[in-house]
Chains A and B, each alone.
Chain A
Amino acid sequence: MSFLHPGLFLAGLVAIGLPVLIHLLTRRRRKSVRWGAMRFLMEAYRRQRRRLRLEQFLLLLTRCALVGLIGIGLARPIFGAASDGRLGSRTVVLVVDNSLGSSTVDSNGVSDLDRSKARAAEVLSGLDAMAGDRVALVTLGGPVRSVVMPPSGDIGSVGRLVEGLATTDSAADFEGLGPILDNVSPDDAQIVVLSGWRRGSVSTLQSSQSGASWRSDLGVLVSQPASASGSNISVASLEPPRSLLVSGGGGPADFANPARVTLVRSGEGVSRADVTRITAFLDSVGGTTSTNSIGEVIVRWSAGQTEAIATIALRADAITTGTSYGVLRVTIDGDAVAGDNSRQVPIELREQLRVAIIAPGRFGQAVGVQRFGAIDWVRLALAPSDDDERGLRLIEIDPGALDRPRVAGLDAAVVLRPDLVRADGWAVLRAMADRGGLVLVTAAAGETVQDWTDGFESAFETGWTIGREAMDLVDMPAIEEPGSRSGSVLGVLSGELSFLVDAVHVSRVLSVSGVSDVAVVLRLLSGEPLLVMSRPAEGRGVIAVLATAIDVDWTDLPLKPLMVPLMQELVRQGVAQGSAGIRLTAGGLFGQDGRTQQLTPVGGGRSVRVQAEGTPMRDAGVWRGLDEAGATVGLLAVNADHAAGDVTLGSADQVESAFRGFGLDNLGMLDATGANGSPSDGPANESLRRDGWSWVILLCAAVLAVIEMFMARVVSHAGHMFGADTGLGQTA
């Protein structure tokens, strides 16, 4: 048992001695009466001494108990396991789940967060700042946020903060919660975790258990899972045809490919057949949200189906000349969770890409395929016909003439003769990659010893080790590297990529080691990396190395159908990755890129400074990255974490076992709330209720007071005085 007002309890304990003290004081201050008929008084006293003493003792006991009960009642006792050992002021850490799943609304329009707020208000109403109670507030919407920490005695302000809490579009961050709770002081603080415990939160809770352990002495009370079911469909992904759209002279050819949308649904609606309409919009940055859709598709769900992938054709006339940035947005019909009903990706619009082919100059063009050199093959791949450069403007730069003025304004550089690039040339290329350009380096055709690798490695600091001598192979076929960046770089080719790649054979290749698997886009069947891509350290661009030369003596790639789409996609997607907007899932950190100093929400809102340690992005939206001069650097699209939008009801057992996984010894479940949100009876809630036992005890005290009055009358025999003459004592 403990007390909400231990001071009153201690005062009550002290006050128990009051009747005894009063008794002693009144004995000392009793009126002295010189009495003649003393012998009769003594005789009466001798006759009744035992009874009188018993009566007086019982009366004194009753009065002591009465005072004690009043003290205990006012001190508001707490019974049960949750109150073990706590006698001082209470410290409560409110952990409120405001992740995407907490925005799930029931048929009455009440969200899980609303219920958590109501529950938090009940908890706060059970605290008393005057008694020294303190409260801290932590929100779980990732990254976890310490709204009030360390605990504060200003309970009213915390209550207002709770009231103003809004949902995030991120998942609950239980991983981040552990370190916060580790530092909670005092040790006996009561942790109250309030959540609707839908699968979106439970799964993150379960996944965060691995290797995580909270302080075992923490007293944790967890709310019961929500009982109101819901149905939710999330836009899990949106893959535009390209994130960099080049209109070029031939129009928006990039929109010829459809966008791909993945939908995931959860909750009670899974069991039903349903229809979902997906609508696509292209919003211009800086303008208002477009109301004209550029594409639409209907998804028909069958009963039990939880995931659907839809392709949505986009109207090509959506692109307007002169627009630099835009946002491709898809939305679906409203459901229980609104935050994941749309998804958006930043789109960069360019009239033309400037691509430099870094190779020695020559006179005239080669005639006949048998005379084609690397530069011819690349030019042919990037500009299949002179009439239609498809938005790519090709520039040839001699490797020895690489300097900043020539490179300035380039979007991509294809280095075919790296052996001719000087050290300062590599520095210029590195600078280009840092600002977002693509640098594609191939092996130098005709060279047995590739002595350029040192300059490359020192310039780009990729950590790769490229062999100086080419390895001869016997028509080694190339293969697509599963799980590589090809999913994004060569996404447009995903349907046919494996067939295209299989047709390519390589005879000579440079060994590339020290490459992570995700950097390998294409690999040879023998295991040698064929095409690797990466970002330079602290740069925004893309570095790609083709471990073979664009030469028929090295590979038949130039002769294969893969050549054109591979070069096209490498350039376009490489440039897009380096310069177009950034996509981020809510809950992630926007890292410092060296240029972006400030993020301003598109459409208005409060700007945030980019923090060195990363800026937490909890809400979905599109942000414009600004540099120090206020110029737009790029776009940041933050989308809801669709996994957090799984509204399937969790069970109390799941929640409890998940928390047990953190090694908690003192774990309790908060009682279920009734329809009106009031807590029902139960031991787990007693530590958070003020008045549960207080009124009972005070009622007992009232009954005892009546008994005391009756006893006092009986013991003092006051009833005998009715009608009797009150004596006049001869006082000494």
Chain B
Amino acid sequence: MSEPTPKRDGERLDASLYLHPKTLARLGSFELRAKMIVEGVMSGQHRSPYQGVSVEFAQHRQYVSGDDIRHLDWKVYGRTDKLHLKQYQQETNLDLVVMVDSSGSMDYGSRSFEDASGMGQKHSPDGRVYWSKFDHATATAAALSYITLAQGDRVGLVVFADEIRRMVGRSSQRGTWRQIVEALATQPVDRETDFGRVVDQTLSKVSNRCLIALVSDLFSDTDAVKAAMARIAHRGHDLILFQVMDGAELAFGFEDLSRFEGLEGEGRLSVDPRALRAGYLEALREHNEQIEKTARSFGFDYELVNTNNWLGPTLGAFVAHRNAQIKKRKYG
């Protein structure tokens, strides 16, 4: 059985395509764990009594006109005769911004669609017979969004290539997930990647701290990725890197003389792939190690997602890592 893939006609979206029963079943335990983490803030299971407000006091500040008088600290007013507002650390609310790469390189896939979908479909709604990295990225993004929405947190979506091409504002409404899925399903996959520019555009639209889930093959220059991560970290956001790669890209097991054609306009190269395999894998390994190392240096999570593997373990590993990070942040 394989994970489902969504239909992209934009009209008959079926969430089950992205959340294969097997996938959902695997995620069940993590949802329970998430429920404990968010302490009832999540929607769907039960409503948090401190909705929108952190339970832990952070600081006071002077009241200015227009502030919500519900947050006035009357005890301070009684002692000092001054109006101060109580500010709390929002630690249980999770704003998730899922950034999905729709550049040309994401259109590569070696796995057959029939095998990946697991539902007997031999080709995608748009006629493709292969399961592309973008397919896998959208499945991942949908799953993350579903989990987040199921926990009652807000989720937003950014689809990008050389710029932001589609965006869904953060929301915790149940209909958000449908908007996200629709945006992913109808998104063309082409153009080159301009990672720095996209991150800048995204950060300009996000004011509060949030968790950014970047789902991309990260076939960009490591310096550009590093600079983008630095800006994300500087703005106080958290970042989870999902580097999506096809199994063929990881193994490079071609044997026949082939003419390789770059999906982002890199040109063509006619080579004996066996002769270049070692060099290719070495370059890829160096690149990935550099990405991971950079991510770790900023305290971000990094996960290599192989499109030949099930989505469930990938998300499980993500949630496990994420829980550990929250625990660490909360309890020091």
Instruction: Please give the residue numbers on chain A whose beta carbons come within 8 Å of chain B beta carbons, in ascending order.
Output: 26-27, 30-45, 47-48, 52, 55-56, 715-718, 720-721, 724-730, 732
Contact = CB atoms under 8 A, between A and B. Distances in A.
Contacts of B258: 30-33, 729
A730 B109 contact: yes
Nearest to B287: A40
Contacts, number: 147
B275 A55 contact: yes
B174 interface: no
A45 B278 CA distance: 10
Interface in B160-195: none
B256 A31 contact: yes
Contacts of A729: 110, 248, 254, 258
A725 B279 contact: no
B50 interface: no
Question: What does DSSP make chain B's interface, helix, strand, loop or mixed?
Answer: mixed
28 contacts: A30-B256, A30-B270, A33-B261, A35-B260, A35-B261, A36-B107, A36-B108, A36-B217, A36-B249, A36-B263, A38-B266, A39-B262, A40-B219, A40-B283, A41-B280, A45-B269, A47-B283, A48-B276, A52-B271, A715-B272, A717-B277, A718-B274, A720-B278, A721-B255, A725-B251, A726-B254, A729-B248, A730-B110
Contacts of B219: 36-37, 39-40
B282 interface: yes
A724 B281 CA distance: 12
A726 B250 CA distance: 11
A310 B183 CA distance: 134
A31 B254 CA distance: 11
Contacts of A725: 247, 251, 253
Contact of A33 (B254, B272, B276): B254
A41 B276 contact: yes
B111 interface: yes
Given A38-B105, A727-B251, 11 more contacts: A30-B256, A36-B104, A37-B249, A37-B284, A38-B262, A38-B269, A42-B267, A44-B280, A48-B275, A52-B272, A721-B277
B205 to A, nearest CB: 28
A41 B279 CA distance: 8
Contacts of B274: 716-718, 720-721
A38 B264 contact: yes
- Best-buried of A35, A39, A43, A724 by chain B (most CB within 10 Å): A35
A52 B270 CA distance: 12
A44 B251 contact: no
Given A27-B270, A726-B253, A730-B130, A33 B279 contact: no
B246 interface: yes
B112 to A, nearest CB: 8
Interface string B222-257: 000000000000000000000001111101111111
A52 B276 CA distance: 9
Interface of B: 104-111, 130, 133, 217, 219, 245-249, 251-264, 266-267, 269-280, 282-284, 287
A716 B263 contact: no
Contacts of A732: 261
Contacts of B272: 52, 56, 715-716
B213 to A, nearest CB: 21
Nearest to A32: B259
Contacts of B256: 30-31
B254 A727 contact: yes
A34 B263 contact: yes
B191 to A, nearest CB: 13
Contacts of A35: 108, 260-263
- Best-buried of B110, B271, B275 by chain A (most CB within 10 Å): B275
B262 A727 contact: no
Given A30-B258, A34-B261, A729-B248, A40 B275 contact: no
A38 B261 CA distance: 7
A723 to B, nearest CB: 11
A32 B267 CA distance: 12
Contacts of A48: 275-276, 279
Contact of B266 (A26, A32, A39, A52): A39
A257 to B, nearest CB: 104
